[in-house]
Amino acid sequence: MSEALPPPTEPSAADRSWCLWASVLVGAFTLISLILALIVLPSRSETRFDPFTAICRALGIPGYAKIPPDPGAATASAPVSNVAWTVETRRLLSNASATRGATIAKDTCGVCHGEDGKSVDPAQFPNLAGQSEAAIFKELRDFQSGDRKSDIMQPIAASLTEEQISDVAAYFATRPRADLRAADSGVLLKISTLARIGDPARAIPSCDSCHGLSRSGPEAAPLLLGQSSPYLEQQLKDFGTGERHNDFFKRMRTIAHQLTPDEERRLAIYYQGMPASN
Amino acid sequence: MEGRAVTYRADRLILAHFGVAFATFAVAIILGAWQMTVRSGLNPVFTSPEAYFASVTAHGTIMGYVMPTLFVMGFGYFVAVTSLDRPLPNTRLAWIGFWLIMAGVVMAMAPVLAGKATVLYTFYPPLTGSVFYYLGLVLVVVGSWFWIALMIWAMSDWKKDNPGKPVPLAMFGNVANAFLWLWTTAGVAAELLFQAIPASLGWTQTIDIGLARTLFAWTLHPIVYFWLLPAYIAFYTMAPRAAGGRLYSDMMGRLSFLLLVLYSLPVGMHHLFTDPEHGTGFKFLQMMLTALVTVPTLLTIFTIGASMEIVGRLRGGRGLFGWIGALPWDRPMVLATGLSFVLLGFGGFGGTINMSYGMNAMIHNTSWVTAHFHLIYGGSVVTMYFAIAYEFWPKLVGRQPLSLKPIRLQLWLWAIGIVVTTFPWHVLGLFGEPRRVATFDYANPAIAFWQPWTIVSMIGGYIMLAGGLLFVWNLVTLYRGPEADRQMHYAVALHPPQRVPSALNGFALCNWLLLFLMLMAYGYPIGQFFFIKDYPAPIHRVDLGG
Ligand code: HEM
Ligand SMILES: [Cu+2]
């Protein structure tokens, strides 16, 4: 290796021209790309050259899209439920008060569902103790709007405000549930497999994936364990015929109409459960 | 240039980094093979969606963060002491960084194994895992910042003592990677500290998913180049010498490293082409900038090709391609370079599809993507990690391998495994098979024909697994080998540089240009979330199990 050169005292001409040309190249490339991205391409096939609109469109600022939203799209299909899991809904639920809910439960729901959420006639009225807050909230709102039909529940739900509904949902969610486990010894293996794993050949997903204790499915899927079997069976039949239709994306209707009456009955028994200590 | 022994008490430091990197790697490839088996519908033991996604999280976290970070750090320390021929400026700081990472790895992996952080390795809220997962990864990043500081410090000390001399090319590439990593981690660090960690502690009800995805994209692309740079450094500074020749051009190496830093950062939005939170304008700009990454790649293929051609012709190769056959393919570094180039070629082709704004929609979130990065990263990059380990390990422990045969076998197994795994995987992606899905219903006639392809791909996975485990075995048997020379020699350039412009001997200009490009590319896209629109979403805590 040759002897070390003397240390440079000032940036040499070569250094300066590297800096200059590198900056010019990078800057020019960026500028050309930006002109293409913000003006040329977004104004393609426009009759009038309008750079302001083109830039707003390229930046994604609302109101400048090329294709106006289809006004018919919103009305084309009626929603199955008016509940939406927006941030506002979540906020409503997280501000709910179980204490306020307790009063409503006593005055209004207790007669049928039991003050502590243990139903007086589980075959007709579901147990609400320990049910998920989101599920109770959604069903009450659906009764209110008529998306789920019930001669008894509709007027009751209609008399409650959104806040009251979330309060009462919060209250029942905190009530202790009976200590149960699925009645797997009471049904065929085929049935418990259906509940736990599903039936890929019929594109039936596992019930537990949405309704199980460690479920991670849709927000408002209720817990099934501990409802009476006649009640559950009736719901499956209603979904199967489309009589009940407040399930988003027809999730339950698609599944239920594939179940045989025997499967419906046995799945209902499975989820009615048995004492956990058994 | 004289050879340098690895002394200066850095040996144990480097071995610690490499050791943990490859130990976790061995665990991760076992998980990978199991994941392939689950996806192929053969129902291996423990099949369940929960287990699958916990496994993918562990596999991705190890392969994406733990293994490469430790490898690159160990590599950097090795290159610093051997190419500059002096001790690290501060070995104690290096060890502190290492132990921070160890603490972070344990802290992050525990919740993953407990199923409390099944969020995969890309931080895409509203899915949010245990806070310990995020804190652990913060420690990993902070530990690696010690390395960055040491690399920059080592180079500037050396420059002070050697005014006017060009920084050795290997060290130059290494410091390029340190700066690259500093810029890269800024995005994910911001996301973790200001979004993911507050969310996982329950301090906030909602999280801005648009901002989070943008910050992660800031990191997601350059992190790939951080993984890649040691491979490129080996191409330039090790492969030509291993073949018995010289590097065709030192200048091209410097230029490539600088361009890789420059054009890996302002481009991450190409991962968000189908996302709604950005308009088309900045997506297009970042696509244009992405395309520039072909420049350093082509420079490298040209330079290394030329270096090798000289060797091949000196060894008697004739004709247009005869020199290729004349190269000493029995040497691991040469073989690895060849295999790596081939895999890089296929992977690069796939990559141009991914980065094209229009075509991206065809393959978005399909198996094509997983196939692509296994080919580039698992294939061409990790192959070079193997070759680097085979080069460095004997110098670190002073032992030679007993035989080169198992080493060549290992490299071939891995390359064949990669091809058999990823080619069918690409095809499946074109058929629309989604990535990150645990099980498929092959009884459904619409997708029944996927299964044979997934089974072939799974077999490739097991070939890779065999190659990966043989690699670990080869390192273990090294300790029984005969004494070895501990001098590290880097490739010498055909015309060794006497003096290079300061733009090619330091990073000031590069960093200024990068600042400009980042402001142009991300200024508006990030600013809009604060001033124009936001995308709050309710947080979904996977660690709460409900
Ligand atoms: C025996 C070798 C390997 C096999 C069989 C394998 C297999 C797999 C499989 C099946 C997945 C999940 C794909 C999905 O669910 O869509 C995956 C993901 C992944 N693999 Fe590998 N892999 C192997 C080696 C590697 C290597 C060497 C690397 C990188 C160095 C790597 C990096 C990753 C990453 C980053 C992910 C993404 C995780 C995520 O999606 O969050 N893998 N791998
Ligand atoms: Cu990318």
pLDDT tens digits for range B232-268:
999 999 999 999 999 999 999 999 999 999 999 999 9
B132 C-alpha to center of ligand 1: Å? Answer: 23
A30-39 mean pLDDT? 95
* DSSP-assigned states of every residue in A20-39: HHHHHHHHHHHHHHHHIIII
- Show the tokens assigned to B230: 């040691």
Q: Are A214 and B546 in contact (CB under 8 A)?
A: yes
Percentage of chain A surpassing pLDDT 90?
59
What Å distances lie between residue B309 and B144, B313, B346, B494, B532, CA to CA? Answer: 38, 6, 22, 13, 56
CA of B433 to the centre of ligand 1 (A): 16
A31 or A50, which is more confident?
A31
Least confident of B43-47, B181-185, B275-279: B43-47
B232 and B173 Cβ atoms separated by less than 8 Å: yes
What ipTM goes with this model?
A: 0.90
- Please write down the long-range contacts of B511-518, taking CB distance under 8 Å and 24 or more positions apart: B511/B179, B513/A22, B513/A23, B513/A26, B513/B262, B514/B183, B514/B261, B514/B262, B514/B265, B514/B266, B516/A26, B516/A27, B516/A30, B517/A26, B517/A30, B517/B262, B517/B265, B517/B266, B517/B289, B518/B183, B518/B265, B518/B266
pLDDT value for B322:
92
DSSP code for B120? -
pLDDT band at A200 (very low <50, low <70, confident <90, very high): confident
**Inter-residue contact A108 to A122 (CB < 8 Å):** no
* pLDDT at A67 exceeding the cut of 80: no
Q: What are phi and psi of B125, to 5 degrees?
A: -65, 165
* Measured distance CA(A31)–CA(A36) in Å, rounded: 9
Q: Which of A61-75, B15-29, B443-457 has the highest mean pLDDT?
A: B15-29
- What pLDDT score does B498 carry? 87
- Ligand found nearest the CA of B413: 1
Mutate to test the pocket of ligand 1, among B47, B366, B370 (most ligand atoms within 8 A of CB): B370
**Residue B278 designated active-site:** no
Segment B3-11 mean pLDDT: 68
The amino acid at residue B71 is F
Closest ligand 1 atom to residue B437 Cα is 15
How high does pLDDT run on average in chain A? 87
Q: What does DSSP assign to residue A125?
A: S
Q: Does the beta carbon of B436 lie inside 6 Å of ligand 1? A: yes
List, in order, residues 6 or more apart from B157 with CB less than 8 Å away. B86, B89
Whether B305 has a pLDDT exceeding 90, the answer reads: yes
**Interface A:B, Cβ pairs < 8 A:** 114
Does position B158 have pLDDT exceeding 90, yes or no? yes
End-to-end Cα spacing for chain A? 86
- Going by the DSSP 8-state scheme, the letter that residue B381 receives in this structure is I
Does A11 have pLDDT greater than 80? no
Q: What is the pLDDT of residues B367-383, one digit of tens each?
A: 999 999 999 999 999 99
Q: Which of B410, B408, B21 is nearest to B227 (CA)?
A: B21
Preceding amide of A69 cis, omega within 30 = no
Section B1-26 average pLDDT: 82
Q: Please give the average per-residue pLDDT across A69-83, as a whole number.
A: 70
pLDDT tens track for B443-455? 777 889 999 999 9
Percent with pLDDT over 90 in chain B: 85
Report the sign of the C-alpha dihedral through residues B276, B277, B279, B280, in that order.
negative
Note the pLDDT of residue B543: 85
CA proximity to A16, closest of B205, B509, B456, B480 = B509
CA distances from A3 to A145, B83, B141, B250, B498 (A): 89, 19, 41, 19, 9
> Rounded to the nearest whole angstrom, what is the distance from the C-alpha of residue B486 to the centroid of ligand 1?
35
How confident is residue B545, by pLDDT bands cut at 50, 70 and 90? low
Nearest to A96 by CA among A148, A149, A160: A160
- Of the residues B146, B216, B373, B377, which is catalytic? B373
Residue B438 and residue B454: Cα distance in Å, rounded?
A: 12
The predicted model gives B121-134 an average pLDDT of: 93
Average pLDDT of the segment spanning A11-40: 91
B533 pLDDT higher than 90: no
Averaged pLDDT, B498-524: 94
Residue of B22, B59, B377, B464 with the most ligand 1 atoms within 8 Å of its CB, for mutation: B59
Greater confidence, B9 or B254?
B254
Residue A28 forms contact with B (CB below 8 Å): no
Tell me: pLDDT of B206 over 90: no
Q: How far is CA B52 from the centre of its chain?
A: 23
Residue B5 pLDDT exceeds 60: no
A70 has pLDDT over 70 = no
pLDDT score at A198? 86
Average pLDDT across chain B, whole number? 94
In this prediction, residue A68 has a pLDDT band, given cuts at 50, 70 and 90, of: low
Mean pLDDT of B181-202: 96
> Could you give the 3-state DSSP secondary structure of residue B153?
helix
Summarize pLDDT for B137-155 with one digit per residue, the tens.
999 999 999 999 999 999 9
Confidence (pLDDT) at B43: 85
Q: What's B447's DSSP letter?
A: T
Chain A hits for B520, Cβ within 8 Å: 30, 34
Measured between CB atoms, does A42 come within 8 Å of chain B?
yes
Using one digit for the tens of pLDDT, what is the confidence trace for A174-196?
A: 999 888 999 888 788 889 889 98
Higher-confidence position of B499 and B170: B170
